[in-house]
Each structure stands twice: as C-alpha cells, then as structure tokens.
Structure 1
Amino acid sequence: MLTLTDTASTEIRNIIADPEVPDGCGLRIANDPAAGGLTLTLATAPAEDDQVLDENGARVFLEPQAAMMLDDKALDAAHDDNGQLRFTVAADA
C-alpha cells in the first residue's frame, strides 16, 4: 500500500485542516489515462470503491487503479523555489 512521508502527512493535514475545507475531506489520487498519469484533487469523501489511507489524520483516497500503481510507492511533499507545494511519488524505502 502507498505510504506517506512525514512531510506529506503534515502537508495533507494542513490542507484538510483549513476551516473552509469540510470535515471528512482528503486528497484523492486517481488514474487519468487522458493525462497519461495520476491526478491529485481535494475530495469531500472517498468514492465507493476507493481505498482510504489515514495516517494520523492525513486522509488519502486511492482510486483502485491508482492504488495498484502506487502499491509499493511513497508519497512525499516539498515546496518548490516559488513556494508552491508539490507532491511526488518515489519508490518506498
């Protein structure tokens, strides 16, 4: 199953802790064949067949195909030179 780095967990908790974000929200990762990769969006709830990953309040909803693709991966987060938050996927250590 996908794992989250400490940084990714913290950033996800920060995103979903925003007062304007409804309770129960999480980041949803889905396969997007049209884009040729994965998409990451804020979702109010998981889809019926999503896997739910909750690491200390950092909620991630994984669409089934994305879950298979990310089974042995780790999600990390960092801010780029412009201060923009970027999530990356790497081999699980």
Structure 2
Amino acid sequence: MLTLTDNAAAVVRTLTQQIAGETGGLRFSRQPGMDETLTIRAAAAPEPGDQVVEQDGARVFLTEEAAAALDDQILDAVVDAGGSVHFSVAPQQPSA
C-alpha cells in the first residue's frame, strides 16, 4: 500500500484543507492510454471504489488503477521557492 513521507503528508494536509475541507483529500487517477501518467486533483470525498490512504491527518484517494501503480511505493513532496508542489514516488525499502 502507498505510504507518505512526513513532507508529503504535510503538503497533502495543507492543500486539501485549503481546497477540499476537512473530509477532503487528493485523488490520484490514471488516464486511459497514459500508462505512466497519474492525474492529481483535490476531492471533497473519495469516489466509490477508491482506496483511501490516511496518514498523519492527510487523506489520499486512489482509483483502482492508481492503487495498483502505487502499491508498495512512497509518495514524497517538495515545495519549491516559487510555491509550486512537486510530487515524486519511489519504491518502499524492505524492512531489515
């Protein structure tokens, strides 16, 4: 299952509280025909069939396709000097 870094959780929490309210989250979906591309948007609530990842007060909603693509991944986020948010994913490291 997708996990979030502390930075990602803070960014998701901040964005969704500003845009989608307390029950909202960021929704990740995959566009048909775009195998490597994920779309991210603020959502007031998960849609039917979405997987919900909650971590440190941050909520991420994943479509079935996005959940499969992000399984066993870590979501990170950075905010650049201009205020733009950049998300990245990396494989989770196995526990020792």
TM-score range, shorter chain: 0.7 to 0.9
Gaps of 5+ in 1: none
Matched to 1:31, the amino acid is: R
1:8-48 deviation line (CA, Å, top 9, x unaligned): 00111111222x53331100000112555110100111010
Q: CA RMSD in A?
A: 1.6
What are the equivalent positions in structure 2 for 1:1-93 lying under 5 Å apart?
A: 1-18=1-18, 21-36=20-35, 37-93=37-93
User: Percent of counterpart pairs with the same letter?
Assistant: 42
Separation in 2 of the partners of 1:17 and 1:26? 8
What do residues 44-81 of structure 1 show as CA deviations (whole Å, max 9, x unaligned)? Answer: 11010000011121000000010011001110001235
Q: Matched residues in 2 for 1:34 and 1:42: separation?
A: 22
1:92 and 1:13 map into 2 onto residues whose CA distance is 21
- Report the 3-state secondary structure (helix = DSSP H, G, I; strand = E; otherwise coil) of the residue aligned with 1:47: coil
2:77 match: secondary structure: strand
Aligned residues: 92
Q: Matches of 2:26 and 2:87 in 1, distance apart?
A: 11
Q: TM-score, normalised by structure 1?
A: 0.88
